[in-house]
Structure 1
Amino acid sequence: MSDDPASILKDAKAKMSKSVDVTREEFTSIRTGRATAAMFQGITVEYYGAPTPLNQLASLQFPEARTVIVTPYDKSAMGQVESALRDSDLGVNPTNNGDTLRVVLPALTEERRRDYVKLARTKAEDGRVAVRGSRGNAKKALEKLVKDKEIGEDEGNRAEKELESVTKSYIEQIDESLGHKETELETI
């Protein structure tokens, strides 16, 4: 950390912003009614003994809202890609037609939608915890500056108030993103 309140706050803002971005990225991996490339980001395929991300081994096409065509670049990896898709948490059973894999995503049931909302809330809470962790680190740094008499108590208190305000705004951003995701999930 730095030795002045402005740079401590700047570092905290950068870390909080990153936490919000990561949380939003996590939200994109949660399935809604429509198939997206983000749903397939976490899938890895065992390819020549090394776990390889699916998007490096195959192209994805979305001809319909719930249909995905997966075309492996290396046809010899078809079996590994197929089993990786089957074993993923998407709950799909791909159809192999020789050159491509056709993945039809099942319609979301009410129970599955509720599970996804719970998952989104968990990811949002993880994001909030990360933001609060950044706040805690910055607050300790500010308290150390005051204790070491590098800044006055009034300046330290002002910086802490600004830190609280910044923290609140980033947590609100996470809550707003969660609200959008819940609405998206609950819409049939």
Structure 2
Amino acid sequence: MLKDIINNADEKMQKTINVLKKDLASMKAGRANPAMLDKIEAEYYGTMTPLNQLGSVSVPEPRILQIQPWDKAAIKAIEKAILKSDLGLNPSSDGVVIRLIIPELTEETRKNIVKTVRKTGEEAKIAIRAVRRDCNDKLKSLKKEADISEDDIKKTEEEIQKKTDNFVKEIDKILDVKEKEIMSI
């Protein structure tokens, strides 16, 4: 039973890390990255469809994203979705492919993106700590219900705390890498 609580905590904390990595990948850092388009959906025949399902996304040059729609009728919808997004990019189309030129980031823009990265990281840390709190609450209720020794409960709490500390350190490492990527010119 205690192992289940530990395994559950580990699984939830790892999911938090995965979500953080995905969120950070979608933030622009002055370089073209297909993950920037992951959250954008275009209306295609009345259905909101992710861009990566409407065509292939490639990076022909470090600062250019290229979208080649499988259906040429989707070009206008894709352009419209990109313009409506919060990326601030202007799509240019030649009727076959859509190109997005990623502009150089100013120092101020870089600092604002770093602030957003830190905020996202802090939200991930809060989620990790919430998992720890839930596990500790389960342990306290187990202490009352089941006949598990006080020592076993204490050891499990310590193990969950170690996992929490390790995942928080991992978040800090991920944030450092992303900040360096953003601040490098």
- State the TM-score, normalized to the length of structure 1: 0.94
CA distance in 1, matches of 2:68, 2:162: 49
Q: 1:9 aligns with which of 6, 14, 18?
A: 6
CA contact under 8 A between 2:29 and 2:182: conserved in structure 1? yes
Q: CA–CA distance in 1 between the matches of 2:158 and 2:30?
A: 42
Distance between the aligned counterparts of 2:23 and 2:65, measured in 1? 20
Q: Give the match's secondary structure for 2:90.
A: coil
* Residue in 1 that maps onto 2:65: 68
Q: Distance in 2 between matches of 1:42 and 1:175?
A: 24
The code of the aligned residue for 1:187 comes to S
TM-score in terms of structure 2 length: 0.95
In 2: Cα distance, 1:149 partner to 1:101 partner:
62
What's the counterpart of residue 119 of structure 2?
A: 122
Say whether the 8 Å CA contact 2:30–2:103 is kept in structure 1. no
Unaligned regions of 5+ residues in structure 2, if any? Answer: none
Q: Which amino acid is the alignment partner of residue 118 of structure 1?
A: K
Report the Cα distance in structure 1 between the residues aligned to 2:170 and 2:40, rounded to whole angstroms.
28
- Identity of paired residues, percent? 38
Q: Deviations over 1:63-97 (max 9, x none)?
A: 11111221111111111111111121221111121
Pick from 164, 168, 172 the counterpart of residue 167 of structure 1: 164
Structure 1 residue ranges without an equivalent (≥5): none
Off by >2 Å, runs of 4+ in structure 1:
none
Aligned residues: 185
C-alpha deviations, 1:97-154, integer Å up to 9, x for none?
A: 1211121111111111112111111111111111111111110111111112421212
